[in-house]
Every structure is written in structure tokens, then in C-alpha cells.
Structure 1
């Protein structure tokens, strides 16, 4: 009587039971499908004229002449027809197809993964085996990507973000429902929550053969149904209108570069080289493709708090969902260009461990947590990323940091004697150290505010050149993991920089000692809603300020 319930026993919860499991049966097709597309493209390109001649014989007489010239050189299709080798050719095609299916099956058969209480492991390869392992205590997050074609059959891929260079472990592909559940389990295990989950069925009832059969059945069902299963997503705290997103990309530095290039091309053509005008078309096409790519990548944007961290989703064709657990963000930068200032728009980027190699071109898309937003949007996002910042310190971020300087400015700015080195921004160029964060304010034309949580600040350095020594100023550098957020602030009074150097040491030690945001689900057992794991201010070990 329990036979009909057996397939449900291998649903997502059992994928983190410490046993080896296989990926979605269609995984080899999507991973090796590019090779088949290339081969098919080459074949179609070589037979293009023949196909046109067969299906559109009246299209062009020149095609007939080209076909005859090609046939005189020895066409394999004509050889098959002339020698009546239809059966041999059909068997050869079936043999090639069988070999491809066999290779795909072996690839799927030998590609397994398991998730234990300590590691995420992936084994792959038939002749040359690879075994990758990501310790859960080093996991920085789990990204979920749904490419457009994979979404049509209800598939997604997971990327477990490690703490080192090229340390990520990928699970591609799983069904969308399984991927969501596995990601939640990995995050819960990585956070230190080792809650025992009740088994819905006896593990001995379901054999490995039944488990594999249910996985294959689920894959075939997803292929037939086609559409991606609905994914439950929390309500986003920020909604970006499409018009604002498009306008923000047009009012960017790339537009200024396009205008400058266009002016240079027009001036060059007027000066006596008209052929330079032809270079304007590739420039317009290149910038147009860049704008379309950046706009489509930022569509469907949402950001919301979850018990596992801040959930960020973006992408129109390829949808990417990542989780930024509290305590994994090492630096935050809020920036505003001169073209955005009349509209009050800002963007937010972060420094975080991505686990990707330096040659990976997809790293930058994981650093932007707010493509464009108003001040209220910025405040909502920052309050998600800076959970432990007290209410009394928020004016340092908004009133004095983003919009300053104002009266009674608490920031330590560039001294008047060195204002020629920061002619436009010397009143804005400064820092402020609080018990929780180090704030660096820069720029008058392109305004930026960098926020460095002290609990994750690695070190602080001072730099001074010959001109700096003559003016008694120095440069301060906050060291974090590499990223787009710069930790350098120049032309600061030397004595103020030395005081910061000494004060920050004690502040960093104190902040790191009472920080528990890296254990983001530690309070999950006591709070069924998961709220305690999201707010480190409720930690009983917090030292009163």
C-alpha cells in the first residue's frame, strides 16, 4: 500500500541526507547541448545551398549552378544516393545517436553529489575523475540561476559560494523545487543550525533503484509540462520602475563616452577623413548591445529579507537568485553620478567573497545589490545589510554621509591647507569612525559613501608620499576582500589619520568579539519564524554601548 508514496520519499528534503544523489536526468543535454548545436550549425552551413535548392528550386538560378559545381567535386549525399546506401547511412546516424546517448548517460551516471552536516561534495568524470568539496563552515552563500532554456523545463542550477579563489561548487542541474529546498538546507546547515528533521518514511522502504526511477520520472514530467514551477518568493522591499531603470542606464558614464566618441568621429570626418564616419556604426551597435544587456540583466529585480539572509533576484532571460547572509558583506558603497543627482537616484555595490576565478566575467553582476533607487530605497536596502547598526548612528549614513556636509559635520575632512589637492571635494572628503562601522565619504561630482563593518575589517594602513609629508596629510586604506568598493581615502590630516589608526584597532577587536551575524540562523531553533537569526541585536552576548 505504500508503493504509490515511494516517489515522494526522494523529494528535496532527502537530498541533504548525507547519501550520494544524481542530478537531473537532462543535465548532460544542457551541459553538452552547445557542442551539438555547433555540430548542427556546421552541417547546416555546409548544406545550406543544397537545402535551398531542394525546397526553393525557383529561388535563384545561381544556386543550381553552385550545386552542380559542388557535386562535380564529390558530394557525400550524391554518393549515398548513387550507390543506394540509404540503409547504411541511416544505421550510421543511429549509431552516432546511440553513442551520444551513451556518453550522456555515462556523464549523468558518474556525476553525483551529497550534502552532509559538514560538506557539499561533487564527483564527476568517467575516465578522469574529479572530486570537489566545499566545507559548510566556509560557505558564503548559495546562488540559484535559472537560464531561459532551463526554465522552460523547470530546471535550475545551484552554485555554492566558497571562501577562496575558484572555490565554488556547482550543482547543475536540479529541478527548480529541489534547488530551492536544497539551497535552504545548505544555508541552514552552514549557519550552524543542526536541527533533526523527522523522516516521513522509513529509509529502508525506498531502494536506490526506486529513487533513481523517481528522479527520471520527475525529469520526464518536467520536460512534458514545460513551464517552470512557480517559486515562492518573498515580497520585495524595493520596486524599480522599468522607465527609471532604462533612464538610469542611458544617463550613465557610458553615454558620456559615446558622446565623446561621436564628437571625435565627426570632427575627424570634417578635418578631411570622411571614412572615419563608418566607425560610428560599430560604436553605436556596441553601446546599444551594452545598454540592452545591462537593462535586461537588471529587470525582474527584487530584494527581500529571509531567515537565511537577504534574497536578491534579477535577470529577464537568465534569472539569478542569490542569498547574502548577514555577516558575509565586507564593504558597502552608495554612489551617485552627476547625471543622477537631479532625480535623486543612487546605486549600491558590495564587496563579498564570490568564490570565482579572476577570469570569470560574471563576477560583477553579483556585486550590485541595488541598480538604481531613491533615497528611501537606499535606506531599505542598507537596513537589510546593516542589521546591527544602532538607530543613533543612521544620521551618519544619510544626513551627513550621503547628503553632507551639513552644519555640525561630524566627519574628519581634508584640512584647508591641502584643499588644492581636492579642489572640489575637500569639504566632503573625510571619514567617521563609529562603534560599529567605518564610513568614508568621497567626491563632489560623483558622490560615494563607503561603509566598512568593523567586525569584518581586516586591517587599516596609512600611506604618505613626499607631498603628503610637506602638507602634513596622509592616506588611509581600509583593507577588505577585493572588490569594487575602494577602501582608500586620501589627503587626510596626518594626526587624525594616526588617531584613527590607533582607535580602529580596539574598535575592530571589540566589534568582532560581539559579532554573531555569521551564524545567521543560530536563533532558528528558538524562533519558529526565523526572526532571531536575522537580528543580531537580540544576542545576549552583546556588550552595551
Structure 2
């Protein structure tokens, strides 16, 4: 990890190194023309499964298929009794049918290649000034379109087998349920170029990009075709293997700006999290033993202890295997993690063999939460999660990969947290930052500016009622909660979806109410309970007024518009 920076006593987040310019010299694909995906796309999307299934079918029915083929080409030799139990290869050699067998294999390969070619031929994409479009299908045609002004991010995934030959999957994250547009697969170089084009257009930087291109010679489109397919394949495979060692998507960022996680810290944090699973298992096992012990003691033949032992192993072993699998899954997903600023937003990369790179443009983060487990407190470790539009359905958002996209820092020290907050909340005013650290994450302290849960409602949060509260600024609603699990959530007002107050009969009797900050679906929840009802009513009006003003000032969704004007001038 880069050299940690000591926190500023004034509460200001540490400055980040300058962001390098976007890579130049690549041919743009944002020309509103239709382009095809990688020729091996059908193989990686379904061809491998088709080949495996075909192999299983052939293995199960090989005797019948071979006998049918023999009867077709050599009826006089089709004797089931002579063939039964024999090896098909030996039989082909003995009967001099090598040429026919090779022709059959060649015919099957030609049919498969023709099918793959037709599937590839009818898959195209194009990037215009307004949309990213994908169309595919032979009999049943489909077309998906993502408006560039609604792009919430671009994900670049390199599955391990495809990565070895230089292929990647690009997914344009849209705003809405099932709104993502996948481009699978592209060569890695082309995928990076498409990602850059999409993000530049989404940022309003088309004029800036064209102005930069006027001052340099554009790569000759025909030069790529001059190389043979063999040399391109060897080059892409070499690049894929080298990426396994050196990492991916780090070539256009300043090394000092990259935040990484040491492997020892990552493993240690997940092992500590696994302690909670162990405690839960011990509780379940103790309840099980307490339930089964009287039955075992009542067994007069003395076999009760063996029954108890077998039942205990039957409960314990699967649970231990599941706990180890979950812990390893969390570790493997976060290996080779890095987060860094780029000209097009925050870039997050994780994964060892299959790598996933997500670029989140400015203005696409709706909530940020810093969390610390009580087991992490002695080590000073924290995690950061965000709410963002995923473009996936509700069921898809429950997958582990989708949830991983909501974690922007799996585990980090205070210096790491400060740097990541500076990346995901770059427009947070300096005067608001003490509310995040001194009074928020580490608070409460003397002169606490938070509106907190009233003492008469302590029973709602008996262990954290002194911390439970919120603060409002012109930039965000900041909510502080928890004691054993400390949480500090920041909801930028410019992207706040709504705010409300709720009051039940018990709340009404105690003259308190619940504040809810509404955001897009995600792990960060926005509610605090037990707030003085009169103060909360005034706070809701204040938040609504400030949110309207913040939305009017916010232009982060077109973050490169000024750069475009400068270049055009």
C-alpha cells in the first residue's frame, strides 16, 4: 500500500496526487457505426458448455452412434455381437475406416464453426453521441440501448479463461431495473478503448476528446489488420499472462494515488469476521447438545452416545465447511484490490484470477457508509460501502458479485478511509469533515453538534443511544449509529431521493419520531429513531430546502463539461 498519510488535525482529508490525462493514441469506436464483438464470443458465451454437453451425450450413446454409423457406411460389417464390448478406435483401425472417421469429425467441426460464425455475425454494437446499443439474434432479434446521460458506471470483467487470450466483458451500468447493456466479449485493448469512449461521452467531453485528437495523428485503422491473427492471439495471451503478475488497469493512474490492501490485513480481517460464525456455531451446537443429551442418556443399550456423536458431526461438519467457504470467498474476491482516481471517475479493481474493474463516474454515488466491527476496533480497521444504481433486477442484486460492487474499501486504516472518502466524496466541504471523523466516526465528543436520540427513548437503542443521531449541512445528511458496530452514513443532498418523518403510537406518547433519508437500493440505510418530534419536523423542512438548492448547484453528472469548453476554445 502507498505510504500512509497522517490525519490532518483540522479534519481535512489528505490531498490526492494529480490525476494523469486519459491515454492517447487509440482509435475511437464512438463513430455511430456498427462494430462486431470478438470472433470467439460464441465459444465463451455458450460454446464451451455446448462442447461439454455434446461430449457427455456422445460418451453415453457412443455405442449406438458408432453402430448406426457403421451400418450407414459399411452394412456388411455392422455386427453388434462382434462389436459389443470393443474399443471404437481399435475397431476403426482394424477396418481401415480412419478416413471416414476423420471426415465425420471434420464435418462436425465445420458445422460448429458455421453455427458460431452465424451467431457472431449477428452480434453488433455501436456508440453514438447519445446511446450505446447492442443488437443480436438470428431468428429472434433483440436490441438493447443505454442512454449515455444515464450511465451509472462501466464494469470491465476479465474471466480467467478469457483473460488468458486477451478477452474481456464490458457492461454499461444503466439507471433502472435490468437496464445494463453487456458487450461480451471484446479484446481487452478494444474493451478499454470502448470504456474510455463511453465515459468521455457520458461526461460531456466529446468536444475535449476531439480537440485532443486534432493535435496528434490518429492510429491508422488498417495497421491493426496488418498483423496476422496468430501474432494478435500470441500478443493478447502474453498480455493476459503478464496481467496475472502485474495487475490490471493501473497503467493510466499515478502509482502514489492507488490505495491497496495488504494480503495479511485482508486475511486477518476476514478471519476475525469468521469468529462471529464460530460463536454462532457454538451457540447452535450447545442448543443441539442440550436437546439431544436427555435422549442419549435415556438409551439403555449404551448406544446413545454414538448416536449423539454422529448427530453432532452431521451438524458441525457442514457448518464448518460452509464457514470456511464463505471466508475464502470473501478473501478471494478482495485479493488484488485497488482503488484510484482516473479522468473518468473512481476505478475499483478486485479479484485474483477473474478480475473485475468498475469505473464509477462522479455524481453516481448516492450514499456512503463507514463501518467498524467491534472485533476490528483494536486494529483500527474500517470498511466503506456505497449505494449506487446497479441496473440489475432485485434478484440479481442479491448475488455476491453485485454486492461486491457496493464495497469500495473492504478493510482499511484511518488513512485509507480518508483517502477513499476524498475519492468518492470529492466535493465535501472542508468544514463538514469534522462531522465525519471527530464528531461522527469517533464521537460523540464535547460540543457534539448532532441531534441525538432522546434519553427517554434509550430503550430503543440501549447500547448506543448516546451516539444515535444525525446532523445536516448544505452538503449532506450525516447519520451516526451503533456502538458495537459503529456506522457513519453520508447522504449527499444533491442525490437524496427523499426525506420523511414517521411516528407510531408509542413515539407519539414519548414525543419522538423517526427520520428516514431515502436513497437508491443498497446496503446503506438511512434512519434514526427517537428524535425530538418538534426538532425533527423542523429538520425535515430544512433538509428539503437544502436538498433542492444542492440539486440546483450540482453539475457532477457532466463532470468534464468545463474541460470541453477549454479544449474547444
Q: TM-score range by the shorter chain?
A: 0.7 to 0.9
Gaps of 5+ in 1: 1-10, 49-68, 529-545
Counterparts of residues 463-502 of structure 1 (less than 5 Å):
463-502=502-541
Q: CA deviation at 1:79?
A: 7.4
Q: Paired residue for 1:275, among 310, 318, 325? A: 310
Query: Helix, strand or coil: the match of 2:514?
Result: strand
Task: Tell me which residue corresponds to 2:278.
Answer: 258
Cα distance in 2 for partners of 1:287, 1:448 equals 25
**Contact 1:463–1:475 under 8 Å retained in 2:** yes
CA offsets, 1:250-299, max 9 Å, x none? 111x5313332245336635723222213322222222111111111101
Answer whether contact 1:346 1:375 (CA < 8 A) is retained.
yes
The aligned runs of 1:160-171 (5 Å cut-off) are: 160-171=172-183
Using the TM superposition, give the Cα deviation of residue 221 of structure 1 relative to its aligned residue in structure 2, in angstroms: 4.4
On the 8 A contact 1:459/1:480 being kept in 2, the answer is yes
1:249 equivalent in alignment to 2:263: no
- Count residues in correspondence: 494
Instruction: Provide TM-score, normalisation by structure 1.
Output: 0.84
* CA–CA separation in structure 2 for the residues paired with 1:211 and 1:108: 20
The answer to whether the 8 A contact 1:239-1:301 is kept is: yes
Per-residue deviation, 1:214: 6.8
Structure 1 counterpart of 2:30: 16
Say if 1:440 and 1:451, in contact at 8 Å, map to a contact too. yes
Q: Could you say if the C-alpha distance between residues 41 and 474 of structure 1 is closer, same or farther in structure 2, counting changes exceeding 3 Å? A: farther
Q: 2:336 aligns with which of 289, 300, 308?
A: 300
2:164 to 152, 157, 164: 152
Structure 1 residues 508, 227: CA separation in 2 closer, same or farther (over 3 Å shift)? Answer: closer
Change beyond 3 A, Cα 1:229–1:27: farther
Paired with 1:41 and 1:284, the residues of 2 have a C-alpha distance of 36
Cα deviations by residue, 1:428-454 (Å, 9 ceiling, x for unpaired): 000000010100111111110110000
The TM-score, its normalising length taken from structure 2, stands at: 0.80
Query: Which of 405, 408, 417 is matched with 1:378 structurally?
Result: 417
Match of 1:438, SS? strand
Question: Alignment partner of 2:556: what SS?
Answer: coil
Matching of residue 367 in structure 1 with residue 391 in structure 2:
no
Deviation per residue, 1:458-485 (Å, 9 max, x gap):
1101111111111111111111111111
Q: Find out whether 1:128 has 2:128 as its counterpart.
A: no
CA contact (8 A) 1:25 1:216 kept: no
1:29 to 33, 43, 47: 43
1:503 aligns with 2:536: no
Structure-1 separation of matches of 2:411 and 2:527: 24
Per-residue deviation at 1:511?
0.5
Secondary structure of the residue that 2:358 maps to in structure 1? strand
- Name which of structure 1's ranges 425-434 and 379-388 shifts more when overlaid on structure 2: 379-388
Q: What are the ranges of 5 or more consecutive residues in structure 2 without an aligned counterpart?
A: 1-24, 63-80, 244-248, 297-307
3-state secondary structure, aligned to 2:129:
coil
1:196-217 CA-to-partner distances (Å, cap 9, x unmatched) read 25478899x979xx98787957
- State which of 358, 382, 386 in structure 2 corresponds to 1:322: 358
| Shift in alpha-carbon separation, 1:217–1:406, aligned structure 2, 3 A | same
User: Pairwise mapping of residues 407-446 of structure 1 onto structure 2 (< 5 A)?
Assistant: 407-446=446-485
Once the two structures are superposed, the pairs formed by residues 283-294 of structure 1 within 5 Å of their partners are 283-294=319-330
RMSD across aligned positions (CA): 2.9
